[in-house]
Amino acid sequence: MHSLPTDCDRKLARSSLRITTSWDDGHPSDLRIAELLDKHRLEGTFYIPRSNCEGRAVMTCAEIASLTPRFEIGGHTQDHVSLTELDPAAASEQIQSNKFWLEDVLGREVRGFAYVRGRHNRVVRGLVEKAGYDYARTIKNLMSEPGTDRMEVPTTMQFFNHAPGVYLRNYMSGGPTVARLAILGTALGAAPLVTRLIRGAETCASLGGHFHLWGHSWEVDEHDLWRELDVLLGNLSALGAVYVSNADWRKKPNVVAPSDSN
C-alpha cells in the first residue's frame, strides 16, 4: 500500500494542487461514491442521464435530489447515447431534454455536461454550448491542467485498472507533451492501481497543479474495488490540496506555484 505523503509533499500540495472527481452514468452505486467522498471531505460531480439504453440502472429522482445539497450534478444525455452517432436534431433533443429534466428534479441550473463515451465533434460541442451548458467534460486523460476550451475539459486518470495500451493510445491521440508523458509514466508502472493514482496526483502537484479523477460506480461494483477507492480517497484527502467541483476545477486560480528552491 502506498505510504502517506511526506511533509514536503503536503507543502507542495497545499500551495499548488487542486483536486476534483467526477462519476458518470448515474448508477445507484453513485450514492456509495457520495458517502466515501463525504467521509474523506472531497468534492465530486455526478453526470446523470435520465435512463440508460444499455440497460444499467439509473438513480431515482429522489436519489438524485438527495445529492444536490452537497455535490454538483451534470448532464449526460437523456438516454446515455453517443451523440456523434445521431443527426444534429436528435443529438440536440438528447442534450436539451436531459438538461430540462435534471433542472426540474434539482430545482436549480445544471451547468456541466459530460460526453457519453467521451465522443464529441465540432457539431456536438456547438449543440452542448447552445443548450446553455457552461462547460463539457471529455475523457481525455493524463492532463494536469483543465485546458482553455470549456467545451473540451479533460481529466487526469480514470479509476480503472487499464492495460498499458489504453494509456498509450490516449496519450498519442490526445497530443504528446512533456507534462502528459510524466503522468503517463505513473500510469504505466507495475504498482497497484491506488499507488499509481496517488503518484499521478503528486506528479500533477509539480506540473499544472490540477488532478482530475473520474470513473463509474458500476465498474467499482463489478470489479469489487470499493476498498481500493476508500484508500485512494483517503490518501487524496491527506494531501491537503484544494478540493473542488468540476465547475470550479476548470477555473484556473490565482495561485503562484512554489519555486524550485522550496
Average pLDDT, the chain: 91
90, pLDDT greater than 50: yes
Give 111-123 as a DSSP string. -EEE-GGG---HH
What's at 240, amino acid-wise? G
Taking a C-beta distance cutoff of 8 angstroms, is the pair 100, 75 a contact? no
Q: State the cell numbers at 127.
A: 449543440
pLDDT tier, 5 (very low <50, low <70, confident <90, very high otherwise): very low
Q: State the cell numbers at 238.
A: 491527506
Q: Among positive and negative, which fits the CA dihedral 72, 75, 76, 78? A: positive
Q: State the cell numbers at 188.
A: 504505466
Residue among 180, 192, 123 nearest 147 (CA): 180
**Can you give the three-state secondary structure of 129-162, one letter per residue?**
HHCCCCEEECCCCCCCCCCCCCCCECCCEECCCC
21, pLDDT greater than 60: yes
What is the pTM for the complete model shown?
A: 0.90
Beta bridge partners of 215: 23
Residue among 218, 196, 161 nearest 33 (CA): 218
Higher pLDDT, 12 or 191: 191
pLDDT tier, 249 (very low <50, low <70, confident <90, very high otherwise): confident
Overall average pLDDT of the 98-107 stretch: 98
> What does the pLDDT look like over 58-69, one tens digit per residue?
999 999 999 999
CATH numeric code, 7-249: 3.20.20.370
The whole-angstrom separation of Cα 116 and Cα 118 is 5
Overall average pLDDT of the 240-255 stretch: 80
> What does the pLDDT look like over 134-193, one tens digit per residue?
999 999 999 999 989 999 999 999 999 999 999 999 999 989 999 999 999 999 988 999
Residue among 62, 54, 131 nearest 94 (CA): 131
pLDDT tier, 3 (very low <50, low <70, confident <90, very high otherwise): very low
